[in-house]
Structure 1
Amino acid sequence: MIHSSSQSRDNSQVIETLQDFYTAILEYYDELFPMNTQALDCISRIQLIHKADKGGSSAPMFRYLGVGCATGNLENRLSGPGLDITGIDKNSAMIETAKRRIKKGFSSIRFFEMSAMDMGRFLKKESFHLIGCLENTLPYIGDEILVRKFFHDARELLAPEGLLLLQTVNFDSFDSSKPFVLPQKQSVRVQLDRSYIPTNDGCVTLKAELEQGNGRRLILQQDTKLRPAPTEKIFHWANEAGFSECAFFADFNQSPWSADCPETIIVCRK
């Protein structure tokens, strides 16, 4: 729900939930979060390796699941011969946008309004060769018990030797005693500022504010709790769920990871 705040004279509005905030900024979402071409290339390389390992042109369909797919830009760009694409997101407006972008005649791509917590219940076990959870989606799952469930469900959904590909902020560089300011997102029309505010239970709350060109501001009410995901925790969650390998990189080109790089790319093998 969006409602006028006490700062209404400043032309600002407070938005109560994260999903309502995403819906409110949907018009600008792809400007602020353009498709990551490095991620696209990385997934394409994994698909080609799978094809070569499985017999070249006779290889079975490569199945990809995008968790937290938002407007489906990446998934729609991936769609093509030899690929079966599924995207899930719990924001209905984003899923409708993703569906409208499906190229005419492409039956091997689909989008579902679905939480990451429900994917193990509604999707077929051992049916995906690659699961992508990108754009720092993992910490937004929230409670650590739910994050552990996500790793368990992801492994159950992966085919033998399947991969889980994760992209997060580098939480190893995060000082838990201070607010953590995320890189500013901006386009010609809008500017998005976000930061993480530490809580007493080891989590953080998200502070977010979108400013439009006319000075109007959309402010997220600070009750969205996230679970930081440093490398030690991710390794523990993956190992606990039964993944056989877990590798960390600084980017999608597999550059060496370090504690001060801006993001962390993780590849977990079933």
Structure 2
Amino acid sequence: METIQNLVEYYDELYPVTKDQYDFYAYLMEQYAKPVKFLNIGCGTGVMENYLAKQMTDVTGLETIKELLESATRKHRNQLMALRFFKMSTIEMVRFLGKNFYNVISCLNDRIIFIHDRTLLRKFFFDCKQLLADDGMIVLQLANYNLYKSKTVSVLPEIKTTRVTLTSKLEYVSEEESLLSRNIKTGSGKVLPVYQKTSVYPITPSEIEEYAKESGFTSIEYFADFKRNPFTEKSPSMVVIIK
């Protein structure tokens, strides 16, 4: 069961676009001729997409959650920007979007784990390869799930803002099934459910490498964060660049 409406009010606080992210994407923009073409999967409320569009880039944001998509659309007030949002899943994207078009495809804030089985994850990488231009790349940001595979139940690091705390619990039911529960705790102590035992697939670095290579990608770099600090087996999160 999902109660996403409890997340929408606090989404921009819990998942802020940091200066490190802006700097990281500014660097990516230098790698391509303008207008750089971005596809952002799981775009949330569209903060990053609006920023990129203001840099004279071409931006497409995909979101499956209606409430988040509505928030993203409200932020798009300058109709002169090359920016569009669609309610679309990764399963649908290769049918409706231009092949060999995008320079950068991003999936941030752990959204990739909601592609909740191996077959669909393999399809994700294969479809991204079709949508990317010859010199294009995928950027992923997610937790280092190698840290949790040895436990049946794990409490993930909290995300705290001045108003709320987001708590997450990951359950490994079997090799093929994992469940994620998330709650928001307000300053008054009220607990608001977001996800309750939602199916996810906590993809690991070795699996990312396997699926990427199967799809024809030849280069994979792992970083601990958007500052490009070195990734180690103990890093709590990772930023992955796949070419």
Work out whether residues 220 and 240 of structure 2, in 8 Å CA contact, stay in contact via their aligned partners in 1.
Answer: yes
| Kept after mapping to 1: 8 A contact 2:116/2:200 | yes
Contact 1:68/1:116 (8 A) holds in 2: no
Aligned residue among 5, 19, 27 for 1:37: 19
Distance of 2:70 and 2:166 partners within structure 1: 23
Q: 1:167 to 1:81 in 2, by over 3 A?
A: closer
Separation in 2 of the partners of 1:209 and 1:43? 30
Task: For 1:114-133, list aligned pairs within 5 A.
Answer: 114-133=88-107
**Larger displacement relative to structure 2 (103-112 or 122-131):** 103-112
Compared with structure 1, are the counterparts of its residues 29 and 241 closer, same or farther at alpha carbon in structure 2 (3 Å cutoff)?
same
Indicate the RMSD between aligned Cα atoms, in angstroms.
Answer: 1.6
- Write the distance in 2 (CA, Å) between the matches of 1:81 and 1:216: 40
CA shift for structure 1 position 81: 4.5
Bigger Rg, structure 1 or 2: 1
CA contact (8 A) 1:197 1:204 kept: yes
Shift of 1:245: 1.3
Deviations 1:118-155 (A, max 9, x none): 11111110110000011111111101101111001111
Aligned to 2:159: 185
1:221 shift after superposition: 5.8
- Deviation at residue 213 of structure 1 after TM alignment: 3.2
Residues of 2 paired with 1:221 and 1:132: CA distance? 23
What percentage of residue pairs aligned between the two structures are identical? 31
Distance (Å, rounded) in 1 between the aligned partners of 2:229 and 2:55: 29
Corresponding residue SS for 1:24: helix
Structure 1 residues 95 and 220: CA distance shift in structure 2, 3 A: closer
Report what 1:268 is aligned to: 242
Q: Return the letter of the residue paired with 1:47.
A: M
In 2, the alpha carbon distance for the partners of 1:36 and 1:204 equals 30
Decide whether the 8 Å contact of 2:53 with 2:81 is kept in 1: no
- The question of 1:88 aligning with 2:67 is answered no
Tell whether 2:225 aligns with 1:251.
yes
TM-score (norm 1): 0.85
Q: Counterparts of 2:31 and 2:222 in 1: how far apart (Å)?
A: 19
Q: Which ranges in structure 1 are unaligned for 5 or more consecutive residues?
A: 1-15, 52-59
Taking the aligned partners of 1:107 and 1:78, their CA distance within structure 2 comes to 10
Between the aligned partners of 2:194 and 2:70, the Cα distance in structure 1 is: 23
Deviations 1:84-117 (CA, angstroms, capped at 9, x unpaired): 0110000111111111112424330111111121
CA distance in 1, matches of 2:170, 2:226: 24
- In structure 2, the partner of 1:25 is 7
Cα 1:190–1:118 change in 2 (3 A) is same
Distance 1:233 1:88 in 2: 24
Question: Counterparts of 2:44 and 2:81 in 1: how far apart (Å)?
Answer: 20
Contact 1:130 1:163 in 2 (8 A): yes
Is 1:194 the equivalent of 2:176?
no
> Contact 1:134–1:167 (CA<8 Å) still a contact in 2?
yes
Runs (5+) with no aligned partner, structure 2: none
- CA distance in 2 between counterparts of 1:220 and 1:176 reads 25
SS of aligned partner of 2:127: helix
Equivalent of residue 72 in structure 1, options 24, 38, 46? 46
Alignment partner of 2:94: what SS?
A: helix
Answer yes or no: is 1:216 the counterpart of 2:190. Answer: yes
Find the counterpart in structure 2 of residue 3 from structure 1. Answer: none
- What is the CA-CA distance between 1:255 and the residue it aligns to? 1.9
| C-alpha contact (below 8 Å) 2:4/2:194 kept by paired residues | no
- TM-score (norm. length: structure 2): 0.93
- Call closer, same or farther: CA 1:203–1:40 in 2, change over 3 Å: farther
2:122 match: secondary structure: helix
Distance 1:107 1:264 in 2: 31
Aligned length: 243
1:146 equivalent in structure 2: 120
Shift in alpha-carbon separation, 1:221–1:85, aligned structure 2, 3 A: closer
